[in-house]
Amino acid sequence: MSVPGGVVSTTGVGGLTLHGGLGHMRRTYGLSIDSIVAVEVVTADGEVGTASPDRHADLFWAVRGAGSNFGVVTSFEFRMHPIGPEVFLAGVMYPQEDAVTVLRGWREFAEGSPDEINAIALLWSVPDHEAFPEELRRRPIVLTAAIYDGPVAEGERATQALRELGEPLLDLSHPEAFVEVQQAFDPFFPTGRNYYWKSTYVDDLSDEAIAVIIERGRARGSGMSAVTLWQLGGAIARVDPRATAYYRRDAPYLLAAEATWDGADGTEENIRWSRDTVAAMQPFSHGGMYVSFGGFGEEKDAILRTTYGPNYDRLVEIKNTYDPGNLFHMNQNIPPTVSG
C-alpha cells in the first residue's frame, strides 16, 4: 500500500502535496492531493483546526493545490492504494542524435497507454556516476522511463514499445520493489546542489513543439539540467477541475525546464536557460504552471491566474477569510483583497 508521492524520496511531503503532487502513481491514482482525507492546519490567527469535506470545507478545497497560502499544515491524513510490492520499471537511454524519432515515438506511446503507465521523457546527459558505464558518462541522451502500476509481467509487455524507439545506448528496464523505484533518482538530486526549475503545461505536443524541446535540450548550460516531459491524464483528468484548487487537469503533458548545477559559477546562465525554455514553449500551451516548479514566481499574479483559471477568484475569497493580512506570503502568493 502506498500514497501517491513524488519521484525523489527526500522531497518534503508538505510542499509536494499542497501544490498537487506528481509522482509514479499519478495517472493510476491521481495527484497527491486527490488522496487527502483531512489535514490539520494552523491558520494566521494561531488557531489549530481540521479541514476535511465536513469541517472547514472551503479551506480543505483551497489547500489542495494552493495550500501554502492559507496556513501551516501540520499533519495529513491520506487514503492509501495498492501497489507492488514489485513493479516494472522501463528505463532506456537513446542517443540525443535520435531525439526526433524517439520523442515522436514516445508521444505515440503516451497517447495510447493505459492508466497504469506513468511515463516521462528527458533530454539529459548520462550522470557522471558509478552506476553508469564510464564511456557513456556526460553523454547527451534522451531518456524514456515509465512505471507500470500493476502486475510485473503485464508491465513488461505494456512498456516494450519504449524499448524499441531506436538503438538504445543503455536499457535499464527491470522489475524492482516500488520502494526502491521511489528512491531511484535520489543520487542525482542531492542536497547542496543548485536547482531552478520552471514549468508549463503542454497542450499541443506537435512535431513543431518537439523540435523546440530538442533545441532547448541542446542549449542546456549544464549536463545536470534536463528538459523533462511528464505524461499526465488518466486519474488526474477524471477529477472535476473545480473540485480542488488545482485546475489544469485537462493538460496532457507538463514540461519542466530543470536547471541544475554545482557551485556559484553559471547561475545567471542556467536560470536564463530555464526561463527561455518555458517562454519558447508558450505557443504550445494554454497556460499555467505546476506551482512546485515555479522558479522564483517572477510572474506573480499573471501566471497564477492562468494556473488556477476560474478557481482563482474563489481562492482570493478564502484568503480574505483565513489570512486577510497576508501573513503567509513567502510562496506563490495569492494576495488578499481586504486588510486584516
Q: Are residues 198 and 174 in the same domain?
A: yes
Number of domains in the chain: 2
In a domain, residue 333? The reply is no
Q: Are residues 77 and 90 in the same domain?
A: no
The CATH number covering residue 262 comes to: 3.40.462.20
List of residues 6+ apart from 327 with CB closer than 8 A: 44
Q: Are residues 166 and 193 in the same domain?
A: yes
**3-state secondary structure string across the chain:** CECCCCCCCCCCHHHHHHCCCCCCCHHHHCCHHHHEEEEEEECCCCCEEEECCCCCHHHHHHHHHHHHHCCEEEEEEECCECCCCEEEEEEEEEEHHHHHHHHHHHHHHHHCCCCCEEEEEEEEECCCCCCCCHHHCCCEEEEEEEEECCCHHHHHHHCHHHHHCCCCCEECCEEEEHHHHCCCCHHHCCCCCEEEEEEEEECCCCHHHHHHHHHHHHCCCCCCCEEEEEECCCCCCCCCCCCCCCCCCCCCEEEEEEEEECCCCCHHHHHHHHHHHHHHCHHHCCCCCCHHHECCCCCCHHHHHHHHHHHHHHHHHHHHHHCCCCCCCCCCCCCCCCCC
In a domain, residue 256? The reply is yes
What pLDDT is recorded for position 22?
Answer: 97
Domain boundaries, position 105: 86-293
Model confidence, pTM: 0.96
Residues of the chain with pLDDT under 50: none
What pLDDT is recorded for position 340?
Answer: 58
In a domain, residue 5? The reply is no
Phi, psi for 313 (deg, rounded to 5): -65, -35
Cell of 221: 548550460
What pLDDT is recorded for position 338?
Answer: 86
With beta carbons less than 8 A apart as the criterion, state whether 66 and 270 touch: no
What pLDDT is recorded for position 49?
Answer: 96
What pLDDT is recorded for position 219?
Answer: 98
Q: Are residues 67 and 188 in the same domain?
A: no
